Structure 1
Amino acid sequence: MRLSVFVLVVLQFMASDYAKAESNNVILTRAFADDDYGFYQQEVLEAVMSATPEYGDAQISLHPQPMSQSRQVVSLLKGDAHIMWSVTNAEREKLLTPIKLPLLKGLAGYRVLVIAKDAQHNFPHAISTDELKTRTLVQGNDWPDLHVLQSNGFNAAGEEWSLWFTSMYTMVEKGIVDGFPRNVIEVNGDLIRHADKPVTIDKNHLLIYPNYEYFFVHPDNSALAKRIRVGLSRLIENGTLEALFNQFESHKLALTLADDPHRARHFLQNHSLPYLLDYARWDLEKEKAMKALLGE
């Protein structure tokens, strides 16, 4: 009898330890089964956990199943994952809790056009925004950016999720669409992956609209949301977040494209985002960014 009680107690302790280990495992969703895509966001999240030891141990792990953005939202709501990152919109912020720090300094709203290599003549520097709206464009079917383009009068269609956006690049390659607006952070990596296709970056134009990429958590997980906000604030204050951002060549290339003085700039409204941030460039507005994070 005593042995049975002893075994039961041991099993209870084991179950308790297992549950504790499970609770310390923070699952981050992902779009692709590739270590490069989202590696910056994962590193930021790991740095956040390291900067907030008083909240307990936490191990970041990636969800085993790559998925579209809409499925990532469902995964958080179902409790299959804890954190996702994506650009925001009003609908997404109603479903989930956003951590309102633009991880990419607002550069997600700076878009260049991926076009066929022999199609630059369709995008001369002199064309107006209204003329640009007559060109056929493609975006991800569940991307908030699709609504941004359409609500600003652009001729943009949605395409279903595909591995590394192959379908979008194929549509550009075959002339089914004139261009694929891609944010300046990710476009260079995309072109490396699609080097077998005769596509390139239009050299004359830049679309700009408020577009912020956040971490999101389940609306009931206030403790995790607070930990991420506190951690990000500390990373801004001690310079770690800026150092992480600058480690990536794609980020440097993005700033080169975004700051290119020779590009015609087309400013769009983001009707699905009911606010503007005055600290999107958190590297230049540290105090504002930290105050906003800690005041949420």
Structure 2
Amino acid sequence: MTQSFFYLLINSFIFYCSTLSAQTINVAQEPRAQYKRDEYLSTLLVKALEAANYSASLNHIIVHPHQQRTLITLQNNDVDLYWSMTSPERETLAIAIKIPLYRGYIGKRALVTQRALLPQFKNITTLEQLKPLTAVQGHDWPDTKVLSHNGLNVRPLANYEAMFGLTATGRIDYFPRSFIEVGSELTEVSNSELAIVPNIYLHYPAAFYYFVSKDKPELAQAIEQGLTKMQKTGEFLALFNKYFRDDLNALPFNEAKAIEIKLVNPHFTQ
């Protein structure tokens, strides 16, 4: 059991004990290593519900690793809540609480590559120069459509761990990961063959939302109310900085000096 997953269980238990007439919220959890970002989203959810005076306990349920299938489980009432990057299709499957949980950083993508391939990125400064190379992404991730729409070569895969493996062996040129994901992921993977391209990154409009079952509108309303309150008090930003400030500062490039390659995301409307 990873430390983060243990924290999720303890956090949920404490929240449960603090409520007298708490209802259970079944939260979808992907069958992979639990990262700092998962702990953040769980903690943020608990605090948002507390801010809205909504009594509930969290029950994390292991679901299918494919994100789209998980959202379908919301329709089937197998789970009540899931967090995910948004897309028009996903917003038809559940109630999207349109408050960006990662404050826009989910659309800023560092390029993970095999260390030996770093030189091939040294002189890349434009989207056109990046197009001959091949990226890897999840086959059902909204990001896959975004990269393809912008003319980038993308190899879609279903296995999350395999994406790092293919990148480490050089069979894939690069694996775009968000600024708030990449540090903890590379620590977990612990493969010295992987490195972050230090001179360029991708940026496209995107957001990560809580998605709630359409049968639980009162839950969605409470979460939105709580998040809005936390934004006004500054608690939202403080929690985000607590979890991600160090990771953002540890990125191997100066964001202000590195070259930002902007992509269009036709599938995102705020």
Distance 1:124 1:33, change over 3 A: closer
- Name the amino acid aligned to 2:132: T
Query: CA shift at 1:33, angstroms?
Result: 5.1
Larger radius of gyration: 1
Report what 1:148 is aligned to.
146
Report what 1:182 is aligned to.
177
Whole-Å Cα distance in 2 between the matches of residues 47 and 23 of structure 1?
15
Whole-Å Cα distance in 2 between the matches of residues 125 and 253 of structure 1?
26
Query: TM-score by structure 1 length?
Result: 0.79
What SS does the corresponding residue of 1:90 show, helix, strand or coil? coil
Conservation of the 8 A alpha-carbon contact between 1:33 and 1:66: no
Whole-Å Cα distance in 2 between the matches of residues 33 and 61 of structure 1?
17
Conservation of the 8 A alpha-carbon contact between 1:125 and 1:263: no
Structure 1 residues without counterparts, runs of 5 or longer: 1-20, 277-296
Report what 1:43 is aligned to.
43
Conservation of the 8 A alpha-carbon contact between 2:30 and 2:62: no
The residue correspondences of 1:201-240 to structure 2 (distance < 5 A) are 201-240=196-235
Conservation of the 8 A alpha-carbon contact between 2:168 and 2:191: no
Structure 2 residues without counterparts, runs of 5 or longer: 1-19
Distance 1:255 1:236, change over 3 A: farther
TM superposition outliers: structure 1 runs of 4+ over 4 Å: 255-259
Q: Which structure has the highest strand share of the two?
A: 2
The residue correspondences of 1:191-270 to structure 2 (distance < 5 A) are 191-248=186-243, 250-254=244-248, 257=251, 260-270=255-265
Whole-Å Cα distance in 1 between the matches of residues 40 and 228 of structure 2?
17
Query: CA shift at 1:180, angstroms?
Result: 0.4
Distance 1:34 1:159, change over 3 A: closer
Whole-Å Cα distance in 2 between the matches of residues 181 and 106 of structure 1?
15
Whole-Å Cα distance in 2 between the matches of residues 60 and 213 of structure 1?
20
- Name the amino acid aligned to 1:153: G
Query: TM-score by structure 2 length?
Result: 0.86
- Name the amino acid aligned to 2:70: Q
The question of 1:129 aligning with 2:123 is answered: no
Query: CA shift at 1:69, angstroms?
Result: 1.2
Query: CA shift at 1:89, angstroms?
Result: 0.7
Whole-Å Cα distance in 1 between the matches of residues 153 and 91 of structure 2?
26
Whole-Å Cα distance in 1 between the matches of residues 123 and 72 of structure 2?
42
Report what 1:76 is aligned to.
74
Report the more deviating stretch, 61-70 or 98-107: 61-70
Query: CA shift at 1:241, angstroms?
Result: 1.3
Report what 1:96 is aligned to.
94
